[in-house]
Every structure is written in structure tokens, then in C-alpha cells.
A and B are shown apart, each in its own frame.
Chain A
Amino acid sequence: MDWQALELTILLGIWTTAILLPFGVWLGRVLAWRDFPGKAVVEAAAALPLVLPPTVLGYYLLVALGGASPIGQLYRQVFGHLPVFSFEGLVIASVIFNIPFTVQPMQRAFEAIPREVREAAAVCGMSPWRSLLRIELPLAWPGILTALVLTFTHTVGEFGVVLMVGGSIPGETKTIAIAIYDRVQAFDLAAAGQMALFLLLLSLATIAVANAYTRRVLRH
């Protein structure tokens, strides 16, 4: 078991999920309740990583974050190194790649809240913040939790984008999915099998626990 890769993977999952939580709540609410010009384009863009091959997304990210791009150059000026082939670059790629897994369940969850219920909160005198915390988030919570679990497990298991943007630098960008690939390449099937099994059980357990919890929330 490559503990370093495991730790890195979990860390990547936590960062990605933590960044996408507020973003997903914001974009999910906007897409659920507002109409604005260009909404269809935004929705399509947010869903794009679902259908795009990871290598295609990885390629564009590699170009966009690389030394030849303005973004990469700006990043290097501020942080002293390029985002590609670093953990930060991996987080950026992972956040972009996981947008649909976060936004779509959250959007559905907010859409399920009747308009009258939100209006009732306003008429009851609740400020938008209070309404968000007391009414909207509790009602959307099962959907938000689903989104977070999907995002986390999907990050843990991602391979293509991570390899394209991060390479396979131990302790920096080598996640467990890449470690498995690495072991298979080296004909170390025992180690690969061990890690694959661990990943399988982790994903299964996370989804099962989240589902059970969601069901309990919905029942009450």
C-alpha cells in the first residue's frame, strides 16, 4: 500500500470538496431559481466535464495552466512555480472536472424547494441569509450531501486528468489511482490489487453511508 499516495488522494478529495461546496450551493441556487440570458450556455458548460474525455479536459488544462499561457505565467509570478505538475494544479483541475458532480445534485435539490416556501420565509421576515441557513440548506441537505459524496469519491478515483495535469510525482501529484496503474506497469499485481480493493471498499462505504444518512434525513 502506497500510504503517501493515499494521503495525497484523501487531501485532494477534501480540498476539492471544500472548494466546490460554496461554489455548488451558489451556482446550484442560481441555476435552480433564476432565469437569465445565456443560462443554457452556463448549464451546458457546467455539464461538459461529464461527457468530455478526461484526456481532452486534461490537455486543455495542461495548456491553460502551463508556462506558455497567461494564467500559468501569472500564477508563477505570484507563487513562484507553475501550477502544472504540482498539488495546487491538481486541485484546480480536480475542481473543474468535478463541477457537474457538485452542481447538478445541488441544483436538483434547490429546484425541489417550492417557490412558496422560499417566499414564506421572506414574508415571515427572514433575511436572505437566515432563509438560506434555516430553510433552504436544511431542505436541500440530502442533495448537497449526495453532491459532496459524489465529488469526493469521484476525485479519489480520477485518473486521466490527474495524470495529464499532474504527471506522477510521488508526494506531489501521485494519487492512489495512478499508484495502482504504476504497480500494474511494474507487474506488481499484489500491491495493485490491494490498493484497488481498498479504493473499491472506500467508495462503496462512502456511498452506502451517505445514502443511509440521506434516507434517515428524508424520513424525519
Chain B
Amino acid sequence: MDGLRLHARATAPIPLDAELEVGAGELVALLGPSGSGKSTLLRTVAGLYRPSAARVACNGEVWLDTARGVDLDPQRRHVGLVFQSYALFPHLSALDNVVAALGHLPRAERPARARELLALVHLEGLEARRPAQLSGGQQQRVAVARALAREPAVLLLDEPFSAVDQMTRQRLQRELAGLRRALRIPILLVTHDLDEATALADRICILHRGRTLQAGPPADVMQRPASAEVARLVGLRNLFRGRILGHEPPGATGERGRTWLGWGELRLEVHPRPALAVGTEVEWVVPPGHVVLHRRERPSRGEHENPVPGTIADLLVLGETMQVDLRPHADPEAVIAFSVPTHVGHRNGLAVGVSATVSLLADGIHLLPG
């Protein structure tokens, strides 16, 4: 079995109910608010924390199995770990920090290999500097080089970009994306930054209060959250409550079936979900990208698809995009959030208090299970 597998159950001191799989060459982001147990899971993989019941295996080798009394020391697990604080050895040069993790090589070969690794992270010429003489971004690179030095079976990154400024962060993220193409090992990235997770990860795994709630490609999780809890955790704002009105079976002419969703006075067309009984109360989401503004002066085609009239409750211009909050007449408590290019907003005369109509694209509407 290639890749990393983790199961953990515990009630105290940190409650855990987590399952995680990271394939070889795959980058999985463990995403959750602070205190959700992300770092605890990472430390469990590294052997720095032991939940009361857990199993960790990597490439078929069991590192931890509390049921069978297996618990390898961190030294024997072959993980590369980049700490949030980098945890460089402050009294050693950048070169010696990397050499320190090269204990598996003959002594004479270590400096040359350390130089190669530092070159890989673009630190040529800075080998003799101590951590205190390096910038935050450079320190992070030393930490990455040191983590790779052991030729790890898995690479663990604990909020590796949180301590650097925005510019450096973007550059380091690009470098990581480049670096991972050369690595054929599982990479587990812990972050609380949704944008970072969606930008870098093949899959994201949502963690809340020690429980893994959903894992999948970022677009899937964002568009089809498994629960209202996940929808809230990934910051989906368009979360509403409706009622199943009825189903229409597929037509004989190849026309696909549909389900009708009641939302206040409105009747919305959504993907067919015949399993849901008529009258069932459901929560549903629509990602902002599937909310389309109707042109106010010149209605056009496609506007028959779930038109929702409302009043603009709030506008926020952020550079080239305008974020719009629309209060639908159907549900005066609710707010539909979406964004349009700023020039489109201006051309359509969007302003607070103005009436506008949007279409909620049926493809984007996702009914939450349970």
C-alpha cells in the first residue's frame, strides 16, 4: 500500500475521530479552524503525540498501532516536518542545520548533500548564515531543506506560510508547487487558510473539533459540502433552508429529470434527487460562482433558470470585483452573496436599495444530505 494512512480515536485530552489518507505524490491539505486538532494529527504522524487509539501506516509499514502496542520513535519514522515556527537549531549555520538531518549518510558526504539541498530551495551563498541572520522566508527554506534531507517517506508541513509576509508567502507557495512535482511522496499540509488549501492541494480534508468531516478535491468540497457544518467551515455564505416540492422524471426525449425545491414563494429547479421525499426540509447551498446577475436594462436568455428578485442590501468594491449582497423577496431573512466585475456592477447601476434579479444556476445548487 503506497502512501500514508491515519486513523485516530480519542476522547481525552484532545478529542479525535479522524481518518486520513494521502497517496504517493499527493498533496492533501488538512483544513480547519485553530484548535480543531490539525497539528495534533500531524504530530501523531511524526510520532510526537500519541492518541489513546490510533494507527499510522506509511507505504505498508506500521508506525503506530495502539491496539498492537506498536509505536516507533520519531527517529525511526522517516518523516520530514516543517514546523510552524520552523524550529531551526539557532546555534547552527544553515548548512549545519541541514547536515544535522543527514545522519543516514557517511560523514564525508553530508556537507555536499546539504549544499545540494540548500541550492534546491534557492539558498546558495547563505550556507554559513545562522537562522537569526536569515529572513523569515529564508528560514522557511532552510526548514524545508532540512525536512527533505532525511529522504522522508512523507512530508509534513505545519502552517508553513503563516509567519511570512504576503509577497514571500506567494513566492514560497509557488516554490512548493514546483518542488512537489519532483517529490513522489505523500505531502500533508496543515493550514487554516482556505485559499492556500484550494490553491495548493489535490484534496482537502476538513477537520472540526478533532473530527474529519469531509475529504475531496477542493472544488468538490466547496461546491458540494457534505453537511451544513462543512459549508460553514469553508465559508460558504449562500446556505439556505428549503422544502422538496416534487420530482419530474426524465423525459422520453432524453430531457433530464429535475427536482423542484421550494424556497419561500419561489420554486427552484435543481438536479434530480428522487430519493428525497416530497415535503422534506433540506438545507441547500449555491456557490457564488453559480449566481448570475440579470442585466437590468436588457433581459436576455437563460433568465428563466431560477430567477430570484430581490433588493441589494450591501455592496463592497474590492479592486476589480464588486461583492454584492442581495436580499431576496422570497426570504427577507436571507442574503445571497455573489460577485461581479466592478465595471459590470457600475454599468448595471448597482447600488444599495436598488432592485435586481439573479439566476441561481440549477447545476450549482447543492442539497445537503441529512
Contacts and interface: CB of A to CB of B under 8 A. Distances in A.
A114 B83 CA distance: 12
B100 A121 contact: yes
Interface in A115-162: 116-117, 119-127, 130, 134-135, 138-139
Contacts of B91: 138-139, 220
Chain B CB within 10 Å — which of A122, A123, A130 has the most? A123
Interface residues of B, number: 26
A197 to B, nearest CB: 39
Contacts of A122: 47-48, 73-75
Given A116-B83, A120-B81, A126 B73 contact: no
Interface residues of A, number: 18
A123 B79 contact: yes
A116 B85 CA distance: 8
A219 B73 CA distance: 34
Nearest to B85: A116
Contacts of B73: 122
Contacts of A127: 75
Interface in A34-51: none
Interface in B82-125: 83-85, 87-91, 100-101, 103-104
Contact of A125 (B84, B88, B104): B104
A147 to B, nearest CB: 18
Contacts of B130: 220
Interface in B114-164: 130, 146, 149-150
Contacts of B85: 114, 116
Contacts of B90: 117, 139
Contacts of B83: 116, 119-120
B75 A126 contact: yes
Given A122-B48, A122-B75, A125-B75, A116 B87 contact: yes
B46 interface: yes
Contact of B100 (A119, A126, A139, A220): A126
A126 B130 CA distance: 20
A134 B102 CA distance: 14
B214 to A, nearest CB: 29
A138 B78 CA distance: 25
A126 B103 contact: yes
Contacts, number: 63
B46 A123 contact: yes
A125 B101 CA distance: 6
A134 B100 contact: yes
B100 A123 contact: no
Contacts of B88: 117, 120
Nearest to B156: A123
A103 to B, nearest CB: 23
A126 B102 CA distance: 9
A119 B48 contact: yes
Interface in B44-90: 46-48, 73-75, 78-81, 83-85, 87-90
B238 to A, nearest CB: 40
A125 B150 contact: yes
B103 A123 contact: no
B233 to A, nearest CB: 27
A133 B214 CA distance: 44
B218 to A, nearest CB: 28
A138 B92 CA distance: 10
Most B CB contacts (10 A, CB to CB) among A114, A117, A120, A138 go to A120
B89 A120 contact: yes
A119 B74 contact: yes
Nearest to A122: B74
Contacts of B80: 123
A124 B79 contact: no
A119 B78 CA distance: 13
A135 B103 CA distance: 14
Contacts of B84: 116
In the complex, which of the residues B79, B80, B85 has the most CB atoms of chain A within 10 Å of its own CB atom? B85
Given A122-B48, A123-B48, A117 B89 contact: yes
Interface of A: 114, 116-117, 119-127, 130, 134-135, 138-139, 220
27 contacts: A114-B87, A116-B83, A116-B84, A117-B88, A119-B74, A119-B81, A120-B81, A120-B88, A120-B89, A121-B100, A122-B47, A122-B74, A122-B75, A123-B46, A123-B47, A123-B80, A124-B100, A124-B103, A124-B150, A125-B75, A125-B103, A126-B75, A127-B75, A138-B91, A139-B89, A139-B91, A220-B130
Given A117-B89, A120-B81, A122-B48, 12 more contacts: A117-B87, A117-B90, A119-B87, A121-B89, A123-B81, A124-B146, A125-B78, A125-B103, A125-B104, A127-B75, A130-B103, A139-B90
